[in-house]
Amino acid sequence: MPRRHTFQIGFAIRDGKFEIEPSAISKAVRAWPDCEGVLTLDTEEKRSNAANRYLFGVVYRHINRYTEQSIDDIHDEMCARFTTKTIHYTNPATGQIVEMAVVTRTSGMKVSEFHHFVQQVKLFAQEFFGLTFEEPGDDVRQEYERATAHEKVSA
């Protein structure tokens, strides 16, 4: 079975014009074998400041009061727990397969991914520390519902 190659690259739409750095695409696919592919463009809603305030000001603050860990350390730990993925690539010069664990930060997450991350953090803190959390406000909940509905339509 042929190996599947993927990459992500950001873009912007400004005044109805598509903006992307073309050299970034060429650089990303330079080591790929000749192949055919599909380019999919999908809009991504930015999460609200209210969603960030809920994670950092409610969830992490509650964990901070219980553990006395800094909020930055809590965020680093939660990202390491719930966003670490293993990437593989082949060094074209040596043929060696390189495997590396990479921690993704929340800043690049889609709205629904971010809300799923928050739920994972809350569940971990509930199970590990016995903590419970107030629910987010209607604005944050509605943001998640819109993002989830958009993903179902796009799928």
pTM metric for this prediction? 0.67
Q: What pLDDT, in 10s, does the model give residues 37-86? A: 777 766 666 788 889 999 999 999 999 999 999 999 999 999 999 999 99
Element housing 12 (H / E): strand 12-14
pLDDT of residue 125: 97
- Between CA 97 and CA 114 the distance in angstroms is 31
Q: Does the pLDDT at position 1 exceed 50?
A: no
Count CB neighbours of 69 within 10 A: 15
Kindly state the DSSP code that residue 136 receives in the 8-state scheme: P
Calculate what percentage of the chain has a pLDDT beyond 90: 43
d(C-alpha 131, C-alpha 122), whole Å: 8
Under 8 Å CB-to-CB from 118, ≥6 apart: which residues?
A: 51, 54, 55, 59
Q: What is the pLDDT of residue 77?
A: 97
- Average pLDDT, integer, range 117-137: 95
The confidence score (pLDDT) of residue 41 equals: 66
Indicate whether 150 pLDDT > 60.
Answer: yes
Q: Distance between CA atoms of 152 and 147, rounded to whole angstroms?
A: 9
**Hey, what amino acid is at 83?**
T
> How high is the pLDDT of residue 4?
67
